[in-house]
Amino acid sequence: MSERLDRIEGILEALAIRQSQFQGQVEEVQGELRSLATRQTQFQGQVEEVQGEIRDTNNAVDALVGAVNSLVQQVDSLAQQLEAERLERRDTTRMQAESI
DSSP state for residue 2 in the 8-state scheme: H
Report the chain's terminal Cα–Cα distance, integer Å: 144
| CA–CA distance, 52 with 60 (Å, rounded to integer) | 12
| pLDDT of 94 | 86
Separation of alpha carbons 31 and 38, rounded Å: 11
pLDDT in tens, 21-49: 999 999 999 999 999 999 999 999 999 99
What's the pLDDT at 1?
78
For residues 35, 41, 45 and 46, what is the CA-based torsion angle, rounded to 10 degrees? 40
Does pTM top 0.85 for this prediction? Answer: no
